[in-house]
Amino acid sequence: MMPPQKGTFLKQLPSFLQPGDTVGVLAPASRLDYEEVLPGLRVLREQWQLQVQEGTTLRLAHHQFAGTDEERFQDLQAMLDDPSIKAILAARGGYGCSRLLDRLDFTEFRKNPKWVVGFSDLTALMAHLHGMGFASLHASMVKLFTKAGGELALESLRKMLFGEQVAYEVSTHPFNRLGSAEAELVGGNLCLLAHLVGSASDLDTAGKVLFLEDVGEYYYNLDRMLIQLQRAGKLRYLAGLVVGQFTEMRDNRDPTFGQDAYEIIQQHVSAYSYPVCYNFPVGHVADNRALGVGMPVQLKVGESNVTLSFPLPQST
């Protein structure tokens, strides 16, 4: 069986930010305490010299959500439509983005593409954008901007948004598989990627470097989600794999599942030959480095270190 044709790099990106630009901050999924986002808003305004338009959802609550589906939809749709907003940053994730996807109208967004920034539940929105040909940034959310240990993550996001060169070097891991790849980068939260399989937001991984992360899952469920990706052909034709942080994992008491997160992943990709990097700083951790979903990336998994770099592209 021949592999699908490799995906091509996105030809255009949203414009990089400049001091004085306007960005929107909203909560498209779970609710939050408005006070929690204030330090991050100060970073945007005082350190990055950006104008900030605060979404109504930063102060709304409906059960576990940051407002009703209608309120969250209206907040996000208004920011997608507004040509003066150059980037949309999520204040937090949680759960709720996938409830909005099929209602969103991207007509105005296509005319004036902008960066969408977030991770975790935002994976659903970013995968949807990728399917339409738009890049986004998997990166720290505003609520987490000043979290201890997140200084490098925050700086990496600033560099990506303002169009500066970004390259990462990480230590080796015993499970790494050596090799190199130059391809488009895709990925995000494993739970969300499995959830999107078969939907209009399903992520095309063929010929691409895939990155994965997750939090709070049972090991057996992690195995089940990887089987879902495996059976859907999402792991077979990769150019490379970057395995991020799998934090707060849980196990059955008796009997246990018998494998930890990295052992489970290693088993599911053991039949392939593409390079694999483990323990990359991305996920539900303070040091959550910014990654450009849909952007070309160079991955080199060597014996002494691993490098992941983004050649500086030209934005629109």
Residues 6+ apart with CB under 8 A from 107: none
Mean pLDDT of the region 95-108: 98
Cα 286 from chain centroid (whole Å): 14
Task: Report which residue type is found at 71.
Answer: E
Average pLDDT score over residue span 142-162: 98
Pairing of β 115-118 and β 306-310: unpaired
Confidence bin at 158 (pLDDT 50/70/90): very high
CB atoms within 10 A of CB 11: 9
Q: Which of 128, 130, 138, 284 is catalytic?
A: 284
Q: Which long-range contacts (CB under 8 A, 24 or more apart) does 6-10 make?
A: 6/183, 6/206, 6/207, 6/208, 6/239, 7/183, 7/184, 7/204, 7/206, 7/207, 7/208, 8/184, 9/184, 9/295, 9/296, 10/133, 10/134, 10/135, 10/184, 10/294, 10/295
CA torsion 73→76→81→83, rounded to 10°?
170
Mean pLDDT taken over the chain = 95
pLDDT (tens digit per residue) in 266-308: 999 999 999 999 999 999 999 999 999 999 999 999 999 999 9
Alpha-carbon 257 to chain mean position: 28
Given 128, 140, 184, 213, the catalytic residue:
213
pLDDT above 70 as % of the chain: 95
Annotation says 62 is catalytic: no
CB atoms within 10 A of CB 47: 11
The string of pLDDT tens digits covering residues 194-252 is: 999 999 999 999 999 999 999 999 999 999 999 999 999 999 999 999 999 999 999 99
pLDDT in the model for residue 2: 35
d(CA 203, CA 208): 11
Output b/e per residue, 212-237; b: 16+ Cβ within 10 A: bbbbebebbbbbebbebbeebebbbb
Residue 120, CB-side half-sphere exposure with 13 Å CA sphere: 22
Of the listed 30, 120, 140, 156, which one is catalytic? 120
Q: Is 284 part of the annotated catalytic residue set?
A: yes
Count of positions (residues) in the chain: 316
pLDDT attached to residue 312: 73
Q: How far is it, in rounded angstroms, from Cα 91 to Cα 106?
A: 21
Query: How many angstroms separate the most distant Cα atoms in the chain?
Result: 57
**Mean per-residue pLDDT for 83-108?**
98
